[in-house]
Copies of this chain bind each other. A is one copy, B any other.
Amino acid sequence: MAKVICCELAPSVGELDRNLAAASVAVRAAAAARADVIVLPELVTSGYCFQSVDEARSTSIRAAHEVFARWSDDAAGAVVVAGFAELGDDGNLYNSAVLLDGTGARAVYRKTHLWDAEKLYFTAGDAPPPVVDTAVARIGLMICYDLEFPEMTRSVALRGADLLTVPTNWPWVDRPDGMPAPEIVIAMAAARVNKMPIACCDRRGIERGQRWNESTTIMGADGWPLATADAAGTAVADLDLRAGRDKRISGRNDLLGDRRPDLY
């Protein structure tokens, strides 16, 4: 069994050093709780509600930034997935996520589906989301609005992900009484139709008047929520990350094998 911990932090927009330090504290706490996989929110280094391109740029960091080695040490061998505002070698800003293990950064993914005002600050990535073969399991990563494209979730499952990690910043969305956030409905469906656990790490706190869903949720391969964030923002679930490799769901059905790609 693998222990997955999501840390629903409340980054402060524009305060890079403070955010890097807060993330470090969260990673150390999760490692102390024996996490195998630690997921932090989207743009945990920068905050989200920028007022200008200059502000976004002032909190962006390069993929080679020293903080990633620090978090890797903090994690004591666990895998860490965290969102950050990336300053590319091409000078563009990207809404990115890094996957770290004990050896350092294994992959950086640049969000390919940008949400609303993000288009004012960030350039969309041009590469598919990675699936990284770690010592824990094969871990995929996507960012927030990416999850609303089931083609992309499917592509990660087809490439063998045992767990999909999704750093998010979900602005508040109304929903009927008793219903989860719509993004969680989408994640539950994505987990179930792919028989693939999904760990969504949202953010919290009010930033420049913006509320968030605060809907951090870890779903099992059957799509049902296993854990949501506690009062401190921590969601913890123990998962058999190999169980979803067998895609059979009846004596005669296999979720991926039953696909009819010639018809879509």
Interface size on A, residues (CB 8 A): 46
What is the minimal beta-carbon distance from A152 to any residue of chain B, in angstroms? 6
A96 to chain B, nearest CB (A): 15
Q: Which residues 172-223 of A sit at the B interface, judged by CB distance below 8 A?
A: 175-176, 178-179, 182, 185-186, 188-190, 192-193, 222-223
Query: Which of B119, B188, B250, B252 contacts A185, CB < 8 Å?
Result: B188
User: How distant is the Cα of A250 from the Cα of B148 in the complex, in angstroms?
Assistant: 14
Min CB gap A219→B, angstroms: 10
| Residue among A151, A178, A189, A222 with the highest chain B CB neighbour number at 10 A | A189
Q: Which residues 90-132 in A have Cβ within 8 Å of B in the complex?
A: 112-113, 115-117, 119, 124, 126-128
A65 at the interface (CB under 8 A from B): no
Q: How far is the CB of A117 from chain B (nearest CB, A)?
A: 7
Closest to A125 in B: B263
Given known contacts A151-B151, A264-B152, A186 and B193 CB-to-CB distance under 8 angstroms: yes
Find the B residue at minimum CB distance from A176. Answer: B224
4 more A-B contacts (CB under 8 A) besides A126-B263, A150-B151?
Answer: A150-B153, A150-B193, A151-B154, A151-B261
Are the CB atoms of B185 and A155 closer together than 8 Å? no
27 example contacts (A-B, Cβ-Cβ < 8 A) are as follows: A113-B258, A116-B250, A116-B252, A116-B253, A124-B260, A128-B264, A145-B258, A148-B192, A148-B193, A149-B193, A150-B150, A150-B153, A150-B189, A150-B190, A151-B154, A151-B261, A152-B264, A155-B264, A175-B224, A176-B224, A176-B225, A182-B192, A185-B188, A185-B189, A185-B192, A186-B193, A189-B189
Pick from B178, B186, B224: contact of A189, CB below 8 A: B186
CB-CB under 8 A from A112, the residues of chain B are 260, 263
